[in-house]
Structures are given as structure tokens and as C-alpha cells.
Amino acid sequence: MSDGVAKHKVVIIGGGFGGLLAAQGLNKQPVDVTMIDRRNFHLFQPLLYQVATGGLSPANIASPLRGILRKQRNTRVLLGEVNGFDLAAKQVKLKDGTDIPFDSLIVATGSTHHYFGHDQWEQFAPGLKTIEDATEIRRRVLSAFEKAERSNDAAERARLLTFVVVGGGPTGVEMAGAIRELALHTMRYDFRAIDPAACKVIIVEGQGRVLGAFHESLSAKALKSLNNMGIEVKLDCHVIEITADHVMVKPDGGKGEAYRIDTANVVWGAGVKGSPLGKILATAAGVETDRAGRVPVNADCTVGSHPNVYVVGDLASFKGPDGKPLPGLAPVAMQQGQYVAAAIVRRVKGESPTGHFKYWDKGAMATIGRAQAVGESMGFRFSGYIAWLGWLFIHVMYLARFENRVLVLFQWFWNYVTRNRAARLITGERSADARSS
Amino acid sequence: MSDGVAKHKVVIIGGGFGGLLAAQGLNKQPVDVTMIDRRNFHLFQPLLYQVATGGLSPANIASPLRGILRKQRNTRVLLGEVNGFDLAAKQVKLKDGTDIPFDSLIVATGSTHHYFGHDQWEQFAPGLKTIEDATEIRRRVLSAFEKAERSNDAAERARLLTFVVVGGGPTGVEMAGAIRELALHTMRYDFRAIDPAACKVIIVEGQGRVLGAFHESLSAKALKSLNNMGIEVKLDCHVIEITADHVMVKPDGGKGEAYRIDTANVVWGAGVKGSPLGKILATAAGVETDRAGRVPVNADCTVGSHPNVYVVGDLASFKGPDGKPLPGLAPVAMQQGQYVAAAIVRRVKGESPTGHFKYWDKGAMATIGRAQAVGESMGFRFSGYIAWLGWLFIHVMYLARFENRVLVLFQWFWNYVTRNRAARLITGERSADARSS
């Protein structure tokens, strides 16, 4: 490393699935890697809903980036916030004024919530993207039961015990299932004035079926599982208003007559858009983000006419074989990260470029509740217990890659046997608490 | 419970060691128990320093009160904040305007930080009493290493890598040891620009020895262990100023010449005072709190001339056989909680009162670092590995009482073998983060 020759500098922005796999693909290669992230950890987002419902602790699904990359001696981790690019000068600009030079740039800052022009809904309907989102939703869900226990007003109680999940995709289905289980099993005997099992969980989905990305037969199975758990699913139903105490919805694909659902608890699982850095990069590169704020990329994941600037993962809009952008899934990001790392290595070594990026679709899974999931892979479709075991296996395998996550497995096993959720803590209102103490 | 006869109502304020043991002592007794706490969990405070240094997750040392008391059918848990008493009308007043009637009252709201008239120090030198305190200290400690990694200024780096712990009691010794281990072992290979092992950890203690509550020989052993770990201990040294970038201290019992320690990280482990509710109760009961804000109690833990109002734990000033107040230790609180529960049961059943409360001092322990601790019990003194094993055993046994804490044991075992600390997450600046995204 101190041989005097300036190595090819790769800067990676974002330590999610795409960025991390890119960094790991550059291990032991003749490059200097700088991984920049605002947070000091890699987050396993697919399990955030478990934190939001008290099943796991934040540290169970987050690994310090420095820890993951500690043995990768050509890589340094830099905690910082990027707010600009000078692609001509090959520099990344940090908020604190520092410029970080690069030869190749990989941007993988993912996605954030998308309220479709209704940003005022965010305060009432938090989404689920960060650790703080998850502990905030946990605080709200648990606090709702606490307030209901103390209320003497039947309407107020019903409102507090009604949970509306906007969006029937994997996140929405998982959240709804987990809240219902929390109430029905974990906290069943915890209260004296209310029966937690009387809580209502409602999924509002704009399309005609839940899990729209899956085969129709699996959507039907998921719907049946949800109904069996006592979860109400409103299909073809559009949300038109969200406030502190109710949600207004329009049925029949938005053409029916609007009606009101009284609720104190709304979780947003409906839409995501590219992170704000996408727009800044697109402008710098002379391209335009799509309607979901994603950066259109070429077939080799580069941006515009910049052969050394890559975007991977949720932030990229990569046209699949059907002409539609690839979905915002962890496997897409991981494969793109690996692809780009290999492409950079070939370029640095002077080898001929590989072919275009091809997404190998190994399938997808969604869990609904205790021992219930659906999955499809290479033409096969699974559901029920066997799909749930598959889901468990794949998630534990992934977590095990970065750190020994045997603890997560123990925690799950324990939760499964006892129906307990140990992380049911209402935390995080530090300043409010300090004031009132 | 619905037999028509109004049962004797016991209200317990605070779900710490004292309050919880009192509640459990009233299980299956002919009383109605209401446990009021601002938080929804019992916190195992002796292990908070492990959360503050990334070794354990908050949920590992906190158990939901409802979960602990779920099977105790004569007990309800009420999340709320008490801000007043009407002892004549036998009512507890909640902040939200509700009055809770009682026949017997047990106040066990513990203690909070005491800055000895320098409340402005709190922002620079957080103490360690709540989950939020611990994650805040964790955020600061980890962020200091991150900032040092990015700094090009040698003085700034040294300042960021200097950690001052005020107070050489068990909390201070444990925090200092854990920070040093975090730097020396856990994060040793995590950075590229700095050597974490170059960090300085300094304990500033006003008295002539650390662990002043222990026998002098154990203080000497602890001091030797601390020095062996590379921790600097300044004895007889008074802190006279704390700011964002330095601490001013006066050596020689405050009589020496003041000098400056440049540091960006100060942790407060020096003093505690009774929680603010103590003063409100004392006023209502016609007594005066002592200098540390504790409520003086009679030999049966009652307050003033109120035979049905008890204070237990850290908030109580109970004169021990030597005329000094009993120390603010978990075993004192637990024994007082049990004693008061038994006293109430005897009173309700019309039995003659038991004798005065007697503290059975089973001993005390403090851990210093990896496989190093000191302890004394019934005239015997232990140190080193054997004391550490004893410490481990007692803490796991206690945790196991309330919930199956086998996970904590696994986590410790794993940390011990790998020297890893999985919960090294910088979290909690949600609003700041959201703004800048």
C-alpha cells in the first residue's frame, strides 16, 4: 500500500447491500477503496419490521461497517454525508467541505419513503427504512396499547386499537402480521382493562391483490392467511387523507365513495423513491431521474456518458428484459454491486470489459406470520410452513455472512416457542422525558 | 376479585428493584396492586454501562413490566407520571389529571444524576441512569473515534481520543474499563488513520482511592488492574469545570493548582440524588429531604407520621446501624421492597407488625474489565478472575429471575471469546438525520 504508486481510487457511497457487496468484491484487488456512509453500520432492512414490533433488537440486524470491513486492508470507512459531485474533476463533495477524489465512483444510497406528494402524511404514517423509524413505530404501537388500557372512552379505545397499514406489499404484509401476533399472543395477558386480541389490523392496498409482485396464486394464499389471522384487507382501495385520528379511503380503485377509518396508528408501506442524492448525481451527470427519483443507468450500470460512474441498487433504474426497471430488492442490489466491482477490476487491470449486467432472479419471499410465508423460485411456488422455513434459512444465512448471528436464531427460536418478544421497549423520547422529570 | 368487597389498595410508584420486589411480594395476597411507572420496562441498571459501550442491546437488560407481572392477577400496570400527592385524601395525582386512590403507598422512584450545583455540566458530561443515557453515551464514544479518524489535526485527534470519567465508584470504574477494552480490543483493527489503542482513559476521583465503599485492599487491587489496563487514575482530584472541549481539575484534595485536561468526552459517574418526586412527597408528608434529595424514613420504612406511606430504595434515607444512610444499592432496594410488602400484608390481615427493617448485607462487587473484578462478602474478599466469575454468576442469576436471559449469557460468552461488541451502533439523531437527508 505504501509502494509509492498511486492506486486506482474507488469511492463507494452507501453501505447497504449494493455498496457493501461492491466493496467486498474489491477486496485484495489493486485499488484503494473508500466507503462513505452517514451511518456507522450496515442495516439488514428486510428484518426491520421485527424491530418495529419488538421481536429483535436493533443490534441484531445491524453490523458496524468497520467491523465487516476491518480485515479488508485496501478499504477505509468514512462516516460522512455526501452533498455534491464534480464529475469532471472526479471529486465527491462532503457536507463538511471535504473533497474526496475518485477514479471510479459507485453510488448506492438506496431509497426513502415516497408519500406521492403528500409529505404531510409522514408525521402520522411513518415508514420503515431506518433503525430510528423502527424504534419510533415500536414506540407508537406499544404506546397505543398503553393509552387504550388507560382510556375510559369506548370510541377512543377502538381508535387506539385500530392499526392501518398502507400498502399490501411484503413490508405491509409483514408489519400487519407482526402487529396482530404481538397483540394476539405476546401481549395477550398483559392488560387488565383491554383485550389486546380485540385490536383491528387493516391493510389498505391500491391494487387488486396483496403481494402484487408475486404469482396470483400466492397473493390468494397470502390473503387467506391474513384473513385467518383476523387481518382485514381492503383491496382496490386508495388512501386520500391521513391525519392524527383517522384515514380517509376511496374503494373501487379510487372511484367509490370515500369513507373514514378511525385510527391512531398508521404505518406507511406503500411507496419508495430514490434517495435525494440521486437527483444531485443525475444533474451532475446530465441525465434525469425517473418519476420515482431513480437514476437511469446503462446496461453496464454506468450513468450517462460517464464510464467510471456507477449507480447500483434501489437508486438505479435498470431496464430489465421486459423493459421495466428491476425491482428494488436486496438480490438486485447485491448482484449489481458484485458486477460493478468485477467491471472496475477488469478496467484497472486493462482486461476487456465483461458483458452487460444480467439479473439472476433466484426468486422472492414474503413472510406473513408465525410459520406462514410465501415464496417463488425458478418456476416453483411455496407457501405455508415450508416457505417459512425457507425464509428463515435464507435470512439467517445472509445475516451469518457478516457476523455470527447465532443470537438472532436463538432469539427467533425462543420467540417461536414462547411467543414472547423481548424487545418491547418504549424508548427514545429522551428530551421530552428529561424535561418532565 | 369481583367478590364485592373493596380490597385494600396498594399503589407502587416506580418499577425498579424496590418497587418490583414489593409488587411481587404482594402476589396472591388479598390486596389490589397498581404499579405506576413512566416507562414500560424494568431496567437492570447495573449493566447499563454494557449498553453504553456496545456490549449489550437495551432489550437485553430491560424487561417489560407487563410481561413480568402478567400472571399476577391482582396487579395492574399503569404507564403514567406522578406529580403530586394528597396524603390526607389518600390519592396519588398523575400529570394527566387522573387521581389514583390508595390505602397503602410505596414510593420507589430511585435516583437521578447529581451535578452538585453545576447542572450546566450535564450537556457535556452525561450520566448513566436510563436507556437513553446509555445509547447517548454510546453514540458519543463511537462518534469520537469516527471524528478522530477524519481529523488531520494532531491536537484535535488527541482531544477526541481522551475520555474522562468523573468518579471512581463502581460505575466510573466499569465505564473506564469498558471504554478502554472497546478501544484496545474490539475496534483495534477498525481504523486506518488512528490507532484506537492510543486513546487515553482518565478517571478523576475526589477521594483518596477508587471504590471507596470497598475495603482498602480491594481499592488497591482495583487501582492496580486499572493501571495495568492503561487507565490513568487521578485521586484526590476535584473537577471544577467541564466544557465541550476540556475539563479543569484541582489536585491534592482541591488544594493544588488547577490544570486542564483537553477532552471531547466526559462521562459523569460521580453523584446521584433522589428523584424529584422525593421532594414533593416529603413536603406532602411534612418531612424534609436530606442534602442528596432523599426522603428520611422511619425504622419500618414509613415516612413521617404516615403509617401507610413507604419509601424504599435509592430514594429513601434509611439510617443503618452505624447511623449513616444505607447505600444506594440494588440489594437494599430489593430487601426494603420485600419488607414493605410483608408489612402491608400483616397489616391488612390484622396480624401484629413485624420488627424494624434490617438490611442483610450480602456484600458488594464491582467489575473492572475482562476477567477482572473485586468483591467482598461477609468478611471475605475476592479479586481477579474468581471475583469476575462470581460477578457474572450473580448478574445472570438476577436477570434470569424475570425473563429467560440465556441470550445475555450467550452474548457475553461470545464477546469474551471474540472480544467483539455487536451493539456498536451510532443511533438516535433521528430529526437531525431526517433534516439532512
Based on the residue annotation, tell me whether B174 is a catalytic residue of this protein.
Answer: yes
Q: Which residues of A touch B411 (CB under 8 A)?
A: 407
What is the pLDDT averaged over residues A122-131?
94
Check CB contact under 8 Å for A425 and B189: no
In terms of CA atoms, which chain B residue is nearest residue A428?
A: B132
The confidence score (pLDDT) of residue B284 equals 97
Which site among B115, B130, B194, B407 would you substitute to test the A interface, given the most A Cβ atoms closer than 10 Å to its Cβ?
A: B407
What gap in Å lies between CA A73 and CA A337, rounded to an integer?
A: 19
B119-270: CATH, from 3.40.710.10, 3.50.50.100, 3.40.50.2300, 1.10.3720.10: 3.50.50.100
Q: Is the pLDDT of residue B414 over 80?
A: no
Check if the beta carbon of residue A106 is closer than 8 Å to that of residue A10: yes
The confidence score (pLDDT) of residue B379 equals 84
Q: pTM score, two decimals?
A: 0.89
Classify domain B8-38+80-113+273-348 by CATH architecture: 3-Layer(bba) Sandwich (3.50)
pLDDT band at B311 (very low <50, low <70, confident <90, very high): very high
pLDDT band at A410 (very low <50, low <70, confident <90, very high): low
In terms of CA atoms, which chain A residue is nearest residue B402?
A: A422
What gap in Å lies between CA B431 and CA A296, rounded to an integer?
A: 30
What gap in Å lies between CA B314 and CA B295, rounded to an integer?
A: 9
pLDDT band at B430 (very low <50, low <70, confident <90, very high): very low
Q: Which residues of B touch A183 (CB under 8 A)?
A: none
Taking the CA of residue A420 and the nearest CA in chain B, the distance in Å comes to 9
Strand partners, A250: A238
Q: Which residues of B touch A404 (CB under 8 A)?
A: 414, 418
Options A136, A149, A174, A429, the catalytic residue: A174
Check CB contact under 8 Å for A424 and B41: yes
The confidence score (pLDDT) of residue B193 equals 92
Q: What is the pLDDT of residues B186-225, one digit of tens each?
A: 898 899 999 998 999 999 999 999 999 999 999 999 999 9
Nearest by CB to A58, from B57, B70, B95: name it. Answer: B57
Q: What is the pLDDT of residues A325-341, one digit of tens each?
A: 999 999 999 999 999 99
Q: Would residue B236 be called left, alpha or beta, if left means φ above 0 and alpha means ψ between -120 and 50 degrees?
A: left
Q: Which residues contact A99 (CB under 8 A, 6 or more apart)?
A: A86, A91, A92, A93
Taking the CA of residue A437 and the nearest CA in chain B, the distance in Å comes to 7
Q: Is the pLDDT of residue A1 over 50?
A: no
What gap in Å lies between CA A391 and CA B398, rounded to an integer?
A: 35
Check if the beta carbon of residue A348 is closer than 8 Å to that of residue A31: yes
Q: What is the pLDDT of residues A256-265, one digit of tens each?
A: 999 999 999 9
Nearest by CB to A132, from B79, B189, B428: name it. Answer: B428
Alpha-carbon torsion (A77, A78, A82, A88), positive or negative: negative
Options B136, B174, B241, B403, the catalytic residue: B174
Look up residue B201 and give its three cell numbers.
Answer: 482513559
Q: Is the pLDDT of residue B85 over 80?
A: yes
Q: Which residues of A touch B135 (CB under 8 A)?
A: 427
What's the mean per-residue pLDDT of chain B?
90
Q: What is the pLDDT of residues A232-249, one digit of tens each?
A: 999 999 999 999 999 999
Check CB contact under 8 Å for A410 and B411: no
Least confident of A419-423, B117-121, B243-247, B406-410: B406-410
Q: Is the pLDDT of residue B410 over 70?
A: no
What topology is assigned to A119-269 in CATH?
A: FAD/NAD(P)-binding domain (3.50.50)
| CB pairs A-B closer than 8 Å | 152
Alpha-carbon torsion (A47, A49, A52, A54), positive or negative: negative
pLDDT band at B65 (very low <50, low <70, confident <90, very high): very high
Check if the beta carbon of residue B128 is closer than 8 Å to that of residue B137: yes
- Rounded to whole angstroms, what are the CA distances from B339 to A274, B24, B331, B397? 60, 11, 12, 21
Which site among B427, B430, B436 would you substitute to test the A interface, given the most A Cβ atoms closer than 10 Å to its Cβ?
A: B427
Check if the beta carbon of residue A222 is closer than 8 Å to that of residue A235: no
What is the share, in percent, of chain A residues with pLDDT greater than 90? 73
Q: What's the ipTM?
A: 0.84
Same fold yes or no, B8-38+80-113+273-348 and B119-270: yes
In terms of CA atoms, which chain B residue is nearest residue A405?
A: B422
Check CB contact under 8 Å for A407 and B426: no
The confidence score (pLDDT) of residue B4 equals 56
Nearest by CB to A189, from B39, B70, B423: name it. Answer: B70
What gap in Å lies between CA A17 and CA A26, rounded to an integer?
A: 14
In terms of CA atoms, which chain A residue is nearest residue B145?
A: A79
Check CB contact under 8 Å for A404 and B410: no
pLDDT band at B433 (very low <50, low <70, confident <90, very high): very low
* HSE, side-chain direction, 13 A CA sphere, residue B225: 28
Check if the beta carbon of residue B200 is closer than 8 Å to that of residue B229: no
Q: What is the pLDDT of residues A346-378, one digit of tens each?
A: 999 999 887 899 999 988 889 998 888 999 988
Q: Is the pLDDT of residue B432 over 60?
A: no
The confidence score (pLDDT) of residue A321 equals 85
Taking the CA of residue B352 and the nearest CA in chain A, the distance in Å comes to 33
Q: Where are the domains of chain A?
A: 8-38+80-113+273-348, 119-269
The confidence score (pLDDT) of residue A432 equals 34
